[in-house]
Structure 1
C-alpha cells in the first residue's frame, strides 16, 4: 500500500489551479486539490483560440458562445502627443482565415464551468483549505494536518509557498503603473473589436462583452488611478469619456471599479524534484497582449503531456515529470516573457529611438500582410 495520501496534490484555487487539478486527475492520478475559498474574481480573460481549443478538447467548456464573446478585431490607436506616432492599425481575424482571434470570458463563468467538470471526476478530491508548509513532498495544512504525494503542483500565485519550498528562485519587478478594471455600458457598441488607446503611461483598452457592454482595462500611474477612483462615479466617467476620445457616446458604469498593482515575475525553471509550477506561481505579467491565463493554460497542457509521456511504474516517475515539464515550458516562458516585457516598455518609452522603432513596427504590421499573419500567430500563442 502506498505511504502517500494521493498520487498528486495541487495547491491553489484559481483558474489555473483547478484546470491543473482536472488535467492531473484526468491523467489517472489520485489527486487532492487544496483550494481555499477566496473572493469572486470579477475580472475577465481574453483567451486566444489555441487556449479556447484546449479548453474544449479538455472538456472544460462547451461552446464558447455559451460563456463568452468573440474577439474578431483588434484596433490600436496611438493617443500620445509624441513627436513620432504610430499609425492607427486594425487587425481582423478574417485576414488570418479565422472566425475570431479568441473569446472574452468572465472569470466567474469559467470557474463555474471548471467546478462542474471537477465534480464529475471520482479520483479528484477538493478541500477548501490552504497549505502553510511544504517539506519533502509533505504539505502541512492550515488546520495542522498533513498530506503527502509523489507529485506536488504549485498553482498558488505570485507569493507561491510551493515555489519557495522547492527552492526555485523568482525574479519580480514592481511597476509604478497599476490597472483599473471595471465593466462599462457604452452608448455605441464596439461589436467584436478590442480597442486599445495607447497613452504615455499605458493603454486604455475596451474589450467586447456583448451588446453595448465592454470590459475596461486602464493602465496608468497607480496614483492617478487611485485618485480617479476616489473621486467617485462622476470623476471616473469623465475620465473614461476623455480617454475613449468620445467615440462611444454616453458611458455608464456597470459595476464597481478595482485597481490592481502591476508586476512581472519569472522563474529559472518551472519544475524540479517532483514539484511543478503553473500559472502565476511560475509567471506574471501586466495585462498586455492577453497572455496571463493563456500562458497558464499552456502550462496545464504541457503538464498533461508530461504526465502522458512518463512511465508511472518507475520509482522516480514524479521527478521525471517535473524535469520533462520544465523542459517543455522553458522556451514558451522565455519567448512570452520577453515579448510582453518589450511591448510594455515600448508603450512607456519616451526616448525618440524607441518611439521610432515602435511606430515603424506598427507601420510594418499595417502594410505587410505576411508580417501581420506572423504577428497573429505569436500573439495567439501558436507553437509553430
Structure 2
C-alpha cells in the first residue's frame, strides 16, 4: 500500500502551471503578463535574485521601444507607470564618415511627422522598466515568479513538459518557453541547433550628459570600425551604443573616465556641446545567433533565444516583443478552441508567423553592418549615394519610418 505521507511529499515537490517561462529579464515577464490577459497561468523561472530595483542612481542601460512595442506595453497596463520617464524619438539621422572628420554630406533623415501614428518610438531606461515589470508580475494572481532559480533539466511528454529546478522541485506545464537569451539552455536542451558568427566587434554602452538639448533626435553614425548610436534620454542626456573592434573596445573600456571621453569626443562631435559620462559603463560582444527552429516538442523560443542580432537598428527588443504578441495570440486562440496549447501543431503556427520576419531582420542587420563597417572607398561611394537617394524619395523614406516604428508586416492584435 502506498505511503500517504510519501505521496504528499511528492506533490509538494511538483508544481503545476499552464506555461513555464525560462528567463526573468524583460521578455519573460512581458510574456507572462500577455498570457495572463487571456487567463493563462504561467511560472517565470528567473536565475536572478530578486533585487530591489531602487531608483538609486542613473545608469546607461536603456532600450529603444518601437511604437508598436509601446502599444503592447500599454495594452498590458504598464505604460502609465513608464510614460513620465520615457523619451519620445521624434527624428532619426543616419550618417557615414570617419572619426574626427565629421559625417559625409549624404545622409538619411527620418521625421515622425511624416507618419500619422505618432513618435517612431521611445527610449526607456532599464532602471524604470524592470521594476515596473517585477511589480506587475508580483501583483498578478495568474503569474508565479521563482527568483534565484535555474533549470537543471527538461523533458517533453505526450501530455506536457516537466522541468527540473535547482531548488529540487519539478514544474509541469503544457509548454516551456525559452526567454533565456543568446546562449539559451532551453534551446540547447530541446536539441535545437543554432547558426551564427561573431562580428569581431564589441559594443561600448554608457550614458552621457550634454550641454545642449537633443530635441528627441536619435543619431546613427557609421564609421569603419562600427556604428555609433546616440539615443535621446529625458533631460540633456543620451544613451551611447558604440561599436568598435574587440581590441579597441577592450582598450577604451579600461581607460579612466577622462581618457575614455577623449576617445569618444572625435567620434561624437560637438553638436551637443560639452559632454560628460554619467553612470556605469558596459561592454557587450557582438554576434549573430539564430535558432534553426523556433519550436520543438512542447518548447518555443522567444527574443534573443530565437534570434540574437546586431544592435545596429536597435530592433532586438522589439523583435522579441513581436514574438511575445504573436505567441500570446496563438496560445489564446488555441485555448479558446479547446486545443492542447502546448502541442506541436499549435506551436508550429507561432513558428510560421515569426520565422520569416526574424530571419529577414537578422540578414538585414548583418548586411547593413558589413556594408557600413569598413573603409572600402567603392562601398563608401555606393552607400553614400544610396542614403542620398533614399532621403530624396518621400515614399521610400516613409517606408523606413514605418519600419522603424514597427508598423510593417502582419501585426499581432496586441500591437494594433
Task: Give the Å deviation of 1:53.
Answer: 1.1
- Report the Cα distance in structure 2 between the residues aligned to 1:94 and 1:256, rounded to whole angstroms: 34
Counterpart for residue 22 of structure 1? 33
Unpaired segments ≥5 residues, structure 1: none
Question: Alpha-carbon deviations, 1:322-363, whole Å to 9, x = none?
Answer: 111111111211221121111111111444443343223201
Task: Give the Å deviation of 1:373.
Answer: 0.6
Contact 1:158 1:281 in 2 (8 A): yes
- The answer to which of 373-382 and 44-53 deviates more is 373-382
Name which of 267, 271, 283 aligns with 1:259.
283
DSSP-derived class of the 2:196 partner: strand
Counterpart for residue 95 of structure 2? 77
1:136-215 alignment to 2 at 5 Å? 136=156, 137-215=161-239
Contact 1:42 1:108 in 2 (8 A): no
Unpaired segments ≥5 residues, structure 2: 1-10, 54-58, 410-416
Counterpart for residue 67 of structure 1? 85
Contact 1:52 1:64 in 2 (8 A): no
- Report the Cα distance in structure 2 between the residues aligned to 1:228 and 1:352, rounded to whole angstroms: 27
- The answer to which of 371-380 and 211-220 deviates more is 371-380
Task: Give the Å deviation of 1:4.
Answer: 6.9
TM-score (norm. length: structure 1): 0.93
Counterpart for residue 150 of structure 2? 130
Counterpart for residue 23 of structure 2? 12
TM-score (norm. length: structure 2): 0.86
Counterpart for residue 298 of structure 2? 274
Counterpart for residue 48 of structure 1? 66
DSSP-derived class of the 1:310 partner: helix
- The answer to which of 5-14 and 54-63 deviates more is 54-63
- Report the Cα distance in structure 2 between the residues aligned to 1:276 and 1:298, rounded to whole angstroms: 14
Change in 2 beyond 3 A, CA 1:370/1:188? same
Task: Give the Å deviation of 1:123.
Answer: 1.7
- Report the Cα distance in structure 2 between the residues aligned to 1:352 and 1:241, rounded to whole angstroms: 24
- The answer to which of 200-209 and 294-303 deviates more is 200-209
Contact 1:196 1:206 in 2 (8 A): yes
Name which of 334, 338, 347 aligns with 1:322.
347
- Report the Cα distance in structure 2 between the residues aligned to 1:377 and 1:338, rounded to whole angstroms: 19
- Report the Cα distance in structure 1 between the residues aligned to 2:351 and 2:306, rounded to whole angstroms: 11
DSSP-derived class of the 1:152 partner: strand
Contact 1:134 1:161 in 2 (8 A): no
Task: Give the Å deviation of 1:63.
Answer: 6.7
Counterpart for residue 233 of structure 1? 257
Question: Alpha-carbon deviations, 1:226-273, whole Å to 9, x = none?
Answer: 212212011111122211122222211111211111111112221222
Counterpart for residue 108 of structure 1? 127
1:92 correspondence with 2:89: no
Name which of 388, 394, 403 aligns with 1:369.
394
Shift >3 Å, 4+ stretches: 38-42, 311-318, 349-354
Total equivalences in the alignment? 382
DSSP-derived class of the 1:257 partner: strand
- Report the Cα distance in structure 1 between the residues aligned to 2:82 and 2:408, rounded to whole angstroms: 22
Contact 2:17 2:42 in 1 (8 A): yes
Task: Give the Å deviation of 1:197.
Answer: 2.0
DSSP-derived class of the 2:80 partner: coil
Task: Give the Å deviation of 1:87.
Answer: 0.5
Contact 1:133 1:161 in 2 (8 A): no
- Report the Cα distance in structure 2 between the residues aligned to 1:228 and 1:24, rounded to whole angstroms: 43
Question: Alpha-carbon deviations, 1:28-57, whole Å to 9, x = none?
Answer: 222111112168795211111111111111
- The answer to which of 210-219 and 59-68 deviates more is 59-68
